A and B are shown apart, each in its own frame.
Chain A
Amino acid sequence: MRVALFITCLNDTFFPATGRATVEVLERVGCTVSFPREQTCCGQMHLNTGYPAEAARLARRQLRALAGAEAIVTPSASCAATMREHYPELVGEAPPVHDLCSFLVSELGVEDVGARFPHSVAYHPTCHSLRSLQLGDAPSRLLGKVREIDLLELAEADSCCGFGGTFAVKNADVSTAMLTDKIGHLLNSGAEVCTAVDNSCLMHIGGGLRRLRAGVRTVHLAEILAAQG
């Protein structure tokens, strides 16, 4: 199957390893991956911050950049949710975009991607993956098939980490209070690694963990699926 990768501006700029892992996993399950170079940003931040006119211009540009793709796959549940849920109202159409996990599980029917990741891992279900895109248990099913992984329970897993885009800076104190509780639960879980399907949330959680020298890493779920070491 031919898929176009939408990397997202955040991953492209700061988390290229997630992009390389996404390509590797998609190719391993038999997809032919293209990367339409004109893509930049889906407009989520502008839309959610109160700039719908700018968001609509970015969305129209994004649709042009990805035009013709029969399936678009992205390693970001919140960007996928923006394009699926909000583009129809914003620009009148939604592209055939899928978050990586739901694409693998629901579209391709694949749960075992041949990964091996010998570490203890806590999975944080991000808000958009859970409540907007309703990924359900697709990420957990994929993680469940990873060899030698030690999946640990995360208390109050489905509560928000406190990122929320510009919320993290506009309401930095409340955001930090939420992050503190999330980190507390992560440390209590005993995991070496915190994973999720969105690097924006992981940038927030990971930024807090590094500030504390907590010794817990954040790794995007695509990178766990790509790992074979």
Chain B
Amino acid sequence: MSFPTAAKSALANPQLRHNLARATRTIRARRAAVVSEVADWERQREAGAAIKDAALLDLDRQLERLEAAVQAAGGSVHWAPDAAAATAIIARLVRAAGSTEAIKVKSMASEEIGLDEALAAAGITAHETDLAELIVQLGDDRPSHILVPAIHRNRVEIRDLFEAKLGERGLSPEPRELAAAARRHLRERFLSVGVGISGANFAVAETGAVCLVESEGNGRMCTTLPHTLITLMGIEKVVPRFADLATMLPLLARSATGERMNPYTSLWTGAREDGDGPRDFHLVLLDNGRTDVLADAVGRQSLRCIRCSACLNVCPVYERTGGHAYESTYPGPIGAILSPQLSGMREHASLPAASTLCGACYEVCPVKIDIPAVLVHLRARVVAGGQAPRGEGAAMRALARILLSRRGYEAAQRAARHGELGPGQRLLGPLAAWTVSRELPQAPAQSFRGWWHEHRA
């Protein structure tokens, strides 16, 4: 399904529109407030972009440094060129740990490779422990936001879901009570399952430290209680130095949840032999299209992304359609540039056009990804790949021919005044789409150049 078609059903759902507008407005205001506290925010953004660029332009070496450091600290490193390799490695590791269950921390990389489904096919049950991911999993639903996966649900819908799926009775839709119900359900898993699976926000090449931020503490439990910890991370998550975290963590927290610092920041380096933490640690490095993105000089800035979702929360398109309309792991403006590059232009050909290029995303991006510029670049790739809507290329080339000649242009103006579309007959389809909700402008009796010629020339 193309984005415009998928968006149509989202737009027709008033509850969804209300939930999204309310939630994005709240997060937007919170972000704006905490960002305004930082006097040199623009310099922080530049520093964040520079750190990520430094890592990306030296990625092969930084990843080898990371591998060596993790191994030196007693961990194992696995290289996964694609989703199939990554899921096979993780399934093998879970089984080798003697388990048929795993507790999971919310991870976009895991969504990207379809890990839960792949594990289920291998006979392994994955339990999502993030509250919103649990809501999505229980509802047999898909996440609709990078950071707030159940943003499309309101508290009454969640209460009904918990009563249906967790065997809870008489719950009120108060957030505190809903969280307590989820906690009762999750505590048993935390204490009984021996394998944890997490993503990573950053990994430090210099020391081998892996960094995970979260708000609920479930991540801390998943990464410390099980005897085996498997961390899946995209190769673009590496930063060169430990000190880089001092720049990246505040950029992420303020942009993501509008907090000065996120509630839980977990850092671990390799495995522990003293029993305080997992005794086996595996780091799975996922490529899955990332080196192809890196090869594109304009598109590669997309790999700076630290998954804060600030661009989703300010996007006027996302606010109205929600995440499902993007039909990809990564929704919103960042999804519109990441998904086509990671999983194929053909599958996501309509996403680069799913933006007005209003620039709100670029303005808030903490690592200064020029999303409108990448969108425009990808639109050209869509056209070059023959994926543009039928007839568009012919119409655009015909229009260019008219505009490249003053005489042709002036003749077209005369035709427009007489209500004829002339060579622009091909525009009839687009005109019909315009007039669903808007009147067409009336061509005036005289063009500007006609007036100038008559009165001023």
Residues on the A chain within 8 Å of B406, using CB: 37-38, 40
Contact in complex: B358, A160 (CB < 8 Å): yes
A12 interface residue per 8 A CB criterion: yes
Known contacts A51-B383, A178-B316; A162/B356 CB under 8 A: yes
Binds A, one of B123-131, B181-189, B222-230, B445-453: B445-453
A70 interface residue per 8 A CB criterion: no
Contact in complex: B357, A173 (CB < 8 Å): no
Q: B367-402 toward A: CB 8 Å interface, digit per residue (1/0)? A: 000000000100111110000110011001101100
Known contacts A40-B409, A51-B380, A174-B11; A35/B403 CB under 8 A: no
Residues on the B chain within 8 Å of A163, using CB: 356
Q: A158-174 toward B: CB 8 Å interface, digit per residue (1/0)? A: 01101111111111111
Residues on the B chain within 8 Å of A204, using CB: 438
B416 interface residue per 8 A CB criterion: yes
Contact in complex: B448, A12 (CB < 8 Å): yes
| Number of residues on chain A facing chain B (CB within 8 A) | 62
Contact in complex: A9, B4 (CB < 8 Å): no
B439 interface residue per 8 A CB criterion: yes
Cα distance, A203 to B439, chains bound together (Å): 9
Please pick, from B358, B380, B381, the residue contacting A127 in the complex, using a CB distance under 8 A. B358
Contact in complex: A174, B320 (CB < 8 Å): yes
Cα distance, A168 to B441, chains bound together (Å): 14
A96 interface residue per 8 A CB criterion: no
Contact in complex: B416, A40 (CB < 8 Å): no
Q: Is the interface of B mostly helix, strand, loop or mixed?
A: helix
Q: B329-365 toward A: CB 8 Å interface, digit per residue (1/0)? A: 0000000000000000000001011111111101100
Contact in complex: A16, B444 (CB < 8 Å): yes
B246 interface residue per 8 A CB criterion: no
Query: A97-138: which residues lie under 8 A (CB-CB) from chain B?
Result: 127-128, 130-132
B430 interface residue per 8 A CB criterion: yes
Contact in complex: B413, A13 (CB < 8 Å): yes
Contact in complex: B4, A172 (CB < 8 Å): yes
A228 interface residue per 8 A CB criterion: no
Contact in complex: B437, A172 (CB < 8 Å): yes
Contact in complex: A176, B437 (CB < 8 Å): yes
Query: B152-208: which residues lie under 8 A (CB-CB) from chain A?
Result: none
Query: A27-42: which residues lie under 8 A (CB-CB) from chain B?
Result: 35, 37-38, 40-41
B268 interface residue per 8 A CB criterion: no
Residues on the A chain within 8 Å of B11, using CB: 173-174, 177
Known contacts A49-B379, A204-B438, A208-B437; A19/B353 CB under 8 A: no
Contact in complex: A61, B354 (CB < 8 Å): no
CB-CB nearest in chain A for B444:
A16
Contact in complex: B359, A132 (CB < 8 Å): yes
Contact in complex: B379, A178 (CB < 8 Å): no
Cα distance, A218 to B135, chains bound together (Å): 46
A179 interface residue per 8 A CB criterion: yes
Binds B, one of A52-60, A139-147, A187-195: A52-60
Please pick, from A45, A207, A210, the residue contacting B434 in the complex, using a CB distance under 8 A. A207
CB-CB nearest in chain A for B455:
A20
Cα distance, A14 to B419, chains bound together (Å): 12
Residues on the B chain within 8 Å of A130, using CB: 359
Residues on the B chain within 8 Å of A131, using CB: 358-360, 362-363
Cα distance, A82 to B352, chains bound together (Å): 19
Known contacts A38-B406, A40-B406; A164/B356 CB under 8 A: yes
Contact in complex: B439, A207 (CB < 8 Å): yes
Q: How far is the CB of B50 from chain A (nearest CB, A)?
A: 21
B317 interface residue per 8 A CB criterion: yes
Residues on the B chain within 8 Å of A23, using CB: 456
Residues on the A chain within 8 Å of B450, using CB: 16
B321 interface residue per 8 A CB criterion: yes
Contact in complex: A54, B400 (CB < 8 Å): yes
Residues on the A chain within 8 Å of B3, using CB: 171
Interchain Cβ contacts under 8 Å between A and B, 16 examples? A7-B448, A9-B409, A12-B449, A13-B416, A16-B450, A41-B409, A49-B379, A50-B382, A51-B383, A51-B393, A51-B400, A168-B434, A169-B433, A173-B4, A177-B320, A211-B438
Chain A residues in the interface with B (C-beta under 8 A): 7, 9, 11-17, 19-20, 23, 35, 37-38, 40-41, 45-52, 54, 57-58, 61, 127-128, 130-132, 159-160, 162-180, 203-204, 206-208, 210-211
Across the A-B interface, the 8 shortest Cβ-Cβ residue pairs: A164-B356, A207-B438, A50-B379, A131-B359, A19-B448, A160-B358, A16-B448, A127-B358
